[in-house]
Every structure is written in structure tokens, then in C-alpha cells.
Structure 1
Amino acid sequence: MTSRLLVPLARLAAFALLLALLAAAPASAAAPTLTASSPATGYTGASVTVSGAATPPGGELVLERRVADGPWRPVSTGRPADDGSYALRLVVAAGAQTLRVSYRSAGGTVARELRVTGVAAPVRVSLSGSHRLRDGHRLVLTARWTTTDGRPVSGVAQLYGRRAGSSTWTRRASVRVTNGTGTVRVRPRVDTTYQLRTPATTLVRPAGSSGHVVDNLPPGRVIRTPAGAPAPRRTLPPQRRAIAAGPHVRVKKISARVWRSMKGRSWHRGCPVGRSSLRLIETSYYAYDGYRRRGELVVHRSVAKATKRVLIDLYEAKAPIRSMYRVDPFGWSKRLRGADDMKSMAAGNTSAFNCRGIVGRPGTRSPHSTGRSIDLNTWENPYRSGWGLVPNSAWDARRTPTAIVYRSRQHAVVRILARHGFRWMGSADWQHFQYAGRGARHLPPPTTFLD
């Protein structure tokens, strides 16, 4: 065979070999495809889902996140289902962020980018607890703080309060809330509405609860006078509420401030006792509205201990007292030559020392001038004076409410004062109690046992 024939045969053999090799080689892998979608916004700290389809099956999905110009950080991985669908979840960070979904298969890698913005979530804030409270006691309120999609929130909230009849809110306490729940103790002295206010954070929006109303109830009996019974002709402002527990009776020397108010009213030149012989007694008592209030009396120092014991027992018995002001605020009375006891009685006020004349006998000095006598609940317990029944005649025949009218020596109030040395005048002067116990002989002698 000539050389010219060998060359074409060699070319045919090479071509056949190439065809055989091409036939034996596997088909090339298909290029991957990927779709991806997610919400444009999500609540910071909550989960969102990135979903789509990836083909061919069998590859690996990778979800990454980048904030601002920072590096890509892996968030989650997965594989598509047999039909190519997938769902990857991530917790949304605050602010704008870029997500990248990559799908890698035998045929290569493909990626898609998405934009998501994390926003603060709206929240639900509430206060719960009792709506009724006895004055002086404490109440526990429960605070709850969650996002609207049910996630508990932790942080420090602020408790605000508003007194009944006021439009002004004031901050009362900080409330530590952990995993959506916290507690706070309150002690309202008046009817109060409370509100919980929560701050804005990167996770949640600010919010406030609805108002939680707490009705402050009096700890004592509320005195209601009978229909048709006359009310005092003069009205006094309620004395301040008691804060300390119990009667909290305090005996003090007469301060310069108190003495200035007494001079020219309950004390004047010619009085049988002076400043050094007198004592101011401050006490808590149960007022007609049932609340514990602070009052004061001035008595002789020799009567101070007995008076203190009386006031303690009256408090423990919850004996109602309309008011307990010193008589000095009622001013000077020319007829009585002392503080105006007529005005004090017209207000139903309870008082003690008053260097004055007897009502109805202005020229005769009252035993109140020595600080040995107490007049209790003067409006409902009239005095038969030289000027007639004062401060009114209507209450003289009344026997109810028994808590505030004294018509028998068996009355609890009369018995309390008698136990500590105070004699009662009875029908001649329902309101008047005069000390005659131990130490009475050291007092300046009264000219009469009247008023």
C-alpha cells in the first residue's frame, strides 16, 4: 500500500475515535436556577421567611446577611424540596439590611439579593390588679408588656398616677419588666388612676396602658347624719391625712409658731396658766368621712399623759371625730374674752384649752382656761348655756347616730374618758369632759364645773 493511501486512512481512524469518545462522554450538568422573595419590612427581633424555588434539586442553599457595608455573614442553610421549593427563616436586625440567597449545585452557583428593613414593633401594655383599696394599705399592680405578635418584652417601664379630679400625671415608680411581666406596689391616699408607660427601643415602639382606676376606701366608719338633722353652720377644711400607722400621739412643748397663733386668741394676759404650763398634743383620729386624719389639742401639762391615753383609746375604738383644730383659727371673741368658741362649736370642732369666759356667763372663767377640759363633737352634743342650747337646739333630743352623740354614761366614748379621769357633764353639757383624776389638785382650781 502506498503512502498516499495511508494518510486518508489515518485521518478516518482519528475521526472515528473522536466520535466514539464523544458518544462515551456523559452529558454536561444543567445550570442552576433560583428565585427568592421576602417581606420588604419586618419587626426587629422577629422572624421572616425567605422563600422561592431552586433547580435542579440536590444542591445546597445558603442565606447570608450584610448590614450597611459590612461583611456577609451566614444566617441559615438548607436544601430545596423535591419540587424545588424552599423556605429559609431569619431574625430581622434593626434598620436596612441586604440578604443574599445562594444555590450551589453540580452545574454551578447562582445567587439573588433582597432588601429588608427591620422596624420597631408595636406593643400591648397593660396594668392589672384590684380596683379597691383601704386607705393606708398597699396594692400590687401587675404590668404586662408584649409585642402585638405575642413576643414578651423586657425593660424598665414607668408608672404614672393621676389623682381624681386632676388632669396632671406624675411619675410614681419605675417598673422592672422581665419576659413580659413585672409588679409594682402602690399606696394611693386618694382615688387614683394609674398608667404604665413603656419606652421606645430598637425592638419596640413606645406605648401607654389604659388607665387603671383604684378607689381609695376609708378604713373607718363613714358617719351619715339623719335626714332633716341640721348640718354645722360653719365648714372647716378636712385636716391632713394621717400617714404613720396607729394613733401616733405626740406630746410637745408649745413652739414659737404655735404660741404666736395662741396669743391674743386662746391665751392673753391675765390667764391662769402660761406657755410653759401648756402642751400641744398631735394625734391621728377617725374623721366622719372614715379617713384617718391628724388633729391637735392644747392641754395643761399635768393632763397631757391622761389626754394621750384618751386619744389612743379613742383611736383604737375608731370613735369618729368631726375635726380637731385648735381654737385659735376662729379668732378673738369680745363676748367670751378668748378664742371664739361659738364659731368652733358651730363647726362641730373638738377642742381643749381656751382662756375664755363661760358661754352664757362671760364674766365667769371657763375650766378650759386651765387646759383641763375637752369639748368633743360639739355640734351633735349641745351645751345648755345661759344663752340657751348652743350651738344648736335640734340635736339635743336626738339619739342617733350613736357613734357621735353622747347621751349615756355607758357610751363607749364617755367610758373611755372616765377611765382616764375625765368627768362628764351629761345633759347639762353633752360635749364637756373635765379632768378630775390623779394630779388634778396640781391644776389651778376651776371656778365652776361648766363649759
Structure 2
Amino acid sequence: MIEGNSYKKDCPIELNNLRYLNLSYIDFEGNTKIGELIVHKDVSIEIVDIFKKLYETKYPIYKMELVSNYKGNDFDSIEANNTSAYNCRNIEGTTKWSRHAYGKAIDINPIQNPYISKTGNISHKESLKYEKRAHINLDNPNDKSMILKDDYIVKVFKKYRWVWGGDWRTIKDYQHFDKRE
């Protein structure tokens, strides 16, 4: 993480508060894969439970690698449609730490679940086709991986009291779940 630039000396939590997880997931081809996430120790057990439930329902995840593989660059991780968690970074455009910097946030399938700014801007070109949010063909992993408010994935995270960025008022961050407790 240090060499990969996802952890820095001034990060708001110490390394010993983080846990490395190997999680099974179903990729977009229907294959079982093992992914990696780093999360805060306080949420590690519930993340294992949540991802076990997603695996059991065959919720597709394109890729799940550490942000360190992208030199801590959130934009590059999103461009690769990478599901990720810990990254010591600020909220974009601010000096405030992101929930990712505490290991208490996860972004899932960010291309199919874009961040949409107050002005309606979507930074990632591949995400533009997912601006309109409706399931049309759940047999297609691109469609099934889109996160909508009544989807099982939202219900599972909310059961564990995680907040979903799709519920936010001024911006929408459909990929984002975070724990505030």
C-alpha cells in the first residue's frame, strides 16, 4: 500500500486498523474469482458477510483489485471498472478525508454506477450510457451490475447500516457505499 501510494504517512488511520480481505465474486463472464479489498477492522466481518451474500445471488463484479495496483489513483481505478475500498485520499475538490481514507467506503462497478456531479457531469466516458438508471435485461451483467434503489445489493448494505451514494440529494454516487458509525 505504501509503495502503491494508497497509504501515506499523514493518513487519518494507522495501518494496524486495516484488514486485507480475499473475497469470492462472480465476474462478468459468470466465473468465480477471488478479489482483494482493504477495509477498516471494524467493518471487516460485515464486509465478508455482505460479499458472501452478493456471491450467493450471483451479483456480477467486473474486477476487484487494490487501489495500490493503480498507484492510488482513483480515476484510473474507476476507468478499469475496479471495485475497491481503502484509498487514503481526500473527497474530490476538498481538503476533507474521504470515507475511503478510513477504510469505511466501497465503490462497486464504478463504470455501471457512475458519480454524477451537481451539474450532471460524469467524468468517465464509458459511464455515460448508465446515466439513465433502469434495468432492461438482467441476464446482461452490465445491466445486472447497475445499482438501483430497490436492488438486493442496496438492501444488504443498508441492513448493516451502510449509506448508499444513490440516495444523496445534490450529487449521485451510485457506486458508493459507506459506513458512518
Choose from 383, 388, 403 the match for 2:144. Answer: 403
Superposed displacement of residue 264, structure 1: 5.5
CA contact (8 A) 1:424 1:432 kept: yes
| 1:270 maps onto 2:14 in alignment | no
Residue 32 of structure 2 is matched in structure 1 by 292
Q: Which residue identity lines up with residue 144 of structure 2 in the other structure?
A: A
CA contact (8 A) 1:353 1:370 kept: yes
* 2:91/2:97 contact within 8 Å kept: yes
Aligned pairs for 1:360-439 within 5 A: 361-385=93-117, 388-391=121-124, 392-400=127-135, 401=138, 402-408=143-149, 410-426=150-166, 428-436=172-180
Indicate if the aligned counterparts of 2:114 and 2:122 stay in contact, CA closer than 8 A: yes
Q: Which has the larger radius of gyration?
A: 1
Q: Give the drift of 1:364.
A: 2.9
The aligned counterpart of 1:343 is 76
Superposed CA offset, 1:274-308 (max 9, x none): 11000001011100010000101000001111111
Alignment of 1:327 with 2:48, yes or no, is no
Q: How well do the aligned residues superpose, as a CA RMSD in angstroms? A: 1.8
Name the SS of the counterpart of 1:378 in structure 2: coil
SS in structure 2 of the partner of residue 389 of structure 1: coil
Residues in 1 aligned to 2:155 and 2:66: alpha-carbon distance in whole angstroms: 24
- Which has the higher relative contact order, 1 or 2, with Cα contacts under 8 A spaced 6 or more apart? 2
Task: Kindly provide the amino acid, as one letter, of the partner of residue 174 in structure 2.
Answer: W
> Distance between the aligned counterparts of 2:30 and 2:22, measured in 1?
19
Counterparts of 1:105-184 in structure 2, within 5 Å, are: none
The equivalent of 1:356 in structure 2 is 89
State the identity as a percent.
Answer: 31
Shift of 1:407: 2.1
Q: Secondary structure at the match of 1:282?
A: strand
User: Does the 8 Å CA contact 1:309/1:420 hold for their aligned counterparts?
Assistant: no
- Partners of 1:263 and 1:269 lie apart in 2 by 12
Question: For the structure 1 residues 367 and 386, does the alpha-carbon distance in structure 2 shift closer, same or farther, using more than 3 Å as the test?
Answer: farther
How far apart are the structure 1 equivalents of 2:148 and 2:24?
Answer: 25
Distance 1:372 1:386 in 2: 24
Q: 1:141-290, aligned counterparts within 5 Å?
A: 261-263=1-3, 265-290=5-30
Structure 2 unaligned regions, length at least 5: none
Residue deviations 1:111-134 (CA, integer Å, cap 9, x gap): xxxxxxxxxxxxxxxxxxxxxxxx
Alignment check: 8 A CA contact 2:23 2:36 kept: yes
The alignment partner of 1:311 has SS state of: helix
TM-score by length of 2: 0.86
Q: Distance in 2 between matches of 1:362 and 1:329?
A: 24
Equivalences, count: 168
Once residues 398 and 304 of structure 1 are traced to their aligned partners in structure 2, the CA distance between those partners, rounded to angstroms, is 30
Residue 146 of structure 2 aligns with an amino acid whose one-letter code is: V
Rounded Cα–Cα distance in structure 2 between residues aligned with 1:316 and 1:363:
39
**Inter-CA distance 385–269: structure 2 relative to 1 (3 Å threshold):** farther
- Structure 1 unmatched runs, 5+: 1-260, 332-338, 441-451
- Does the residue aligned with 2:81 lie in a helix, a strand or coil? coil
- TM-score when normalising by structure 1: 0.36
Shift of 1:314: 0.8
The alignment partner of 1:363 has SS state of coil
Counterpart amino acid of 1:348?
Answer: N
Instruction: Name the amino acid aligned to 1:342.
Output: F
Alignment of 1:304 with 2:44, yes or no, is yes
Q: CA deviation at 1:379?
A: 0.5
Is the contact made by 1:321 and 1:404 (CA closer than 8 Å) also made in structure 2? yes
